[in-house]
Structures are given as C-alpha cells and as structure tokens.
Amino acid sequence: MRIHELKRRLREAGAGPSHEQRILRLWSHALPRNSGRRLPATFFPSSLMEVLPAIEAELAGLARIHAIHPGADGSERLLVALADGQTVESVLLPRDGLCVSSQVGCAVGCQFCMTGRDGLLRQVESAEIIAQVALARLRRPVRKVVFMGMGEPAHNLDNVIEAIELLGTVGNIGHKNLVFSTVGDPRVFERLLQARVRPALALSLHTTDAELRRKLLPRAPNLTPEALIDAGERYARATGYPIQYQWTLLEGVNDGPEEIEGIVRLLSGKYGVLNMIPFNTVDGVAFGRPSRERCEQMARTLHARGILTKLRYSAGQDVDGGCGQLRARAVEARVT
C-alpha cells in the first residue's frame, strides 16, 4: 500500500484533512493498537467509521516482527516480515534512532554487502516503511529515522519521499533527524531539494579512488568521488545540514596512507562529517576488518589534519547483524 492510496481511500470514505491527519498520526505512532484505545465514534463521519476497522486491520497486517536480536550496545535488530512473506531488517539504535529498509534486496551490488547478493527482489512501499517505524515504536520511542537498512533509497525514490514527508509532519520526526542515505544517484539531489520535507543526506563514499569505487560499488552511478562531494556540498549549503560521508573500512583496501591524503584533499573545508565504520566480517565475503588500532589511528590522523571524523561501530555487530545478514540467515534457514 502506498500512502497516497491510503489518503485517497480515507477521503472517499468522507475523511476531511483533519481526520486524515489524525489517522495518519495515530498510525505512525502505533496507536491505537499500542494503547488499546479506539478512535471515538463521534469524532469521524459515520461513513468513515464504517470502513476504518477494515483499513486499520490492513495497516496492522502490513508488517510484523518475525525475530528480535538484541545487541550488547543497546541496539535491537528486528527481522520484519511483510505481508507477502518477504523480510526486511530494521535496527533500533541507541538514543532513539531507527534504521529502516527501503527495498527487499538491492541492485547496487556493493562487494562488501550481503543485501546486494541476490539483486533487487522488490520495492518496499511507503506504507511498509511507516509500518517499520510503527512496529519499532511498540518497543521504544523513535525520534530519528535513517534510511540505511536494506536497499538503495534512490532506487525507490517516490516511496521513500512519501514516507519521509509523513514522518516529518504527522510522524513527529525533526527534518534533520531524517537521514536519506545513497551511493550518489544524481536524481536524489534535485528531488530532495524540492521535497516538502528535506532530509539530511548520507553519501556512501568508501574511497577517494574513482577506479576502486567502481569496483567496490559496481552498479552505482558513475560519478567520481569529486563530483559526488561537489553535489553533496551544494545540498549541504542549501539545507544547512552537514553531509554524512560513509566509509566502510576494509582491511588493506581503503585504510592506507593514500586514502588519508585523498580524504584531506577532497573533504577539507567541506560542510560534512566522515563516518568510518569498520567492516563487519561475514562468511563468504572476501574482505577483512582492520584492527581497532589501525581504525583509531586513521581517525586520529584525519582529525589532526582538520577532517571531522567519527569512528562508528555498526549497531548490533555482536549479533552477526550487518546489513542484510539477519535476512540472509533467515532465508538460509528456510531453504535448508
């Protein structure tokens, strides 16, 4: 279900703008399911009250939590089953954050990612994105939503923008706390600037070497790191939100002195922050994770050279849950 279809059905049943807003607000906050409260019959037109139970049941049936994997860092990885039996991952992050998935599978095929292994299976619809937020809110408050789970949000732009618009209005998430993550599809920069709710942007950089980036991200748009950073800088200046440059640290691949020089050359003076995430080692993926000392030394060196750098260990690593790994394990368990 898409959000605009849901709105159309509500209007056809007699909902005015305030009724519609109230229903969408309650849904995105997991109410009334969460509180057991029912919507007061006097509040809505009777024609709307007639169809509302069926619509509520449909919304509640969009997704359910199939499995929960708590991490020692306070995160929780949720394996979410969609109505057609497909599964996606959402991750409850420390400090009220939630990472959601925008696709089942992914067409970009990054060499270090499990999600891209099977290609794109299907889009996650806008209502299914909100359903992930509503399910997470059954467990704890959500005040930040990052689109960094399974999938490339740029390849599902209409659904993701629709979900962002709802979350940034009735969903009560501050606009800068909505983070759209992309490998750098040029359409993104234009569309997000025109959107009613403009999110913050995370760009998957991973290397400053154009040739290496083509190998690591084989089906990403063919933008050089320089062009990607230029587009990011324009977006950051237009919105006032710094760009989050993502860098998965791979041992012996992008953790050397030449990358430090490249980063200093490309990111000095830019309105952004570099998030370095040591790779989460996975069976069957031929990359290693640099030692903690190596990662810390790289972050320290960059800091000393004026690059705002944060070393982040991805949430829930202790549950073997890098992007796409829970789903991959669940699918494996089903077929064996």
Q: Is 110 among the residues that bind ligand SF4 (CB under 6 A)?
A: yes
Check residue 325 for interaction with ligand SF4 (CB under 6 A): no
Q: How far apart, in whole angstroms, are the C-alpha atoms of residue 235 and residue 20?
A: 32
Residue indicated by tokens 């930040």: 144
- Smallest distance from ligand SF4 to CB 225, Å: 16
Smallest separation, CB 69 to ligand SF4 (Å): 18
DSSP-derived secondary structure letter, 314 = P
228 binding ligand SF4? (CB under 6 A): no
Q: DSSP letter string over 175-202?
A: GGGEEEEES--HHHHHHHHHSSSPPEEE
Least separation in angstroms between CB 110 and ligand SF4: 3
CB of 183 to ligand SF4, least distance (A): 5
The answer to whether residue 272 forms part of the interface with ligand SF4 (CB under 6 A) is no
Output 175 or 219, the one with its CB closest to ligand SF4: 219
Residues 118-177 that bind ligand SF4 (CB under 6 A): 150-152
Is-contact 118 105, C-beta < 8 A? yes
Catalytic residue among 89, 125, 128, 165: 89
Contact (CB, 8 A) for 105 and 59: no
* Closest CB to ligand SF4 among residues 125, 152: 152
CB of 219 vs ligand SF4, minimal distance in Å:
8
Q: 233-236 long-range contacts, Cβ below 8 Å, gap at least 24?
A: 233/270, 233/271, 233/272, 234/189, 235/189, 235/192, 235/193, 235/201, 236/201, 236/270, 236/271, 236/272
Of residues 119 and 141, the one with the C-beta less far from ligand SF4: 119
Which CB atom, from 33 or from 219, has the smaller least distance to ligand SF4? 219
Catalytic residue status for 323 = yes
Interface map 77-106 toward ligand SF4 (x if CB under 6 A): -----------------------------x
Contact 12, 55 (CB under 8 A): no
Question: Can you tell me whether residue 48 is helix, strand or coil?
Answer: helix
Q: Are 56 and 50 in contact (CB under 8 A)?
A: no
Q: Which residues of 88-113 are buried (b: 16+ CB within 10 A; e: fewer)?
A: bbbbbbeeebbbbbbbbbbebbbebb
Q: Which of 99, 110, 295, 323 is catalytic?
A: 323
State yes or no: residue 115 binds ligand SF4 (CB under 6 A): yes
Question: Which H or E run contains 212?
Answer: helix 210-216
Q: Whole-angstrom Cα distance, residue 135 to residue 159?
A: 18
Is 89 catalytic? The answer is yes
Selected range binding ligand SF4 among 21-29, 81-89, 109-117, 229-237, rule: CB under 6 A = 109-117
Nearer to ligand SF4 by Cβ, of 109 and 278: the residue is 109
Contacting positions for ligand SF4 (CB under 6 A): 106, 108-110, 113, 115-116, 150-152, 183, 323
- What residues are labeled active site? 89, 323
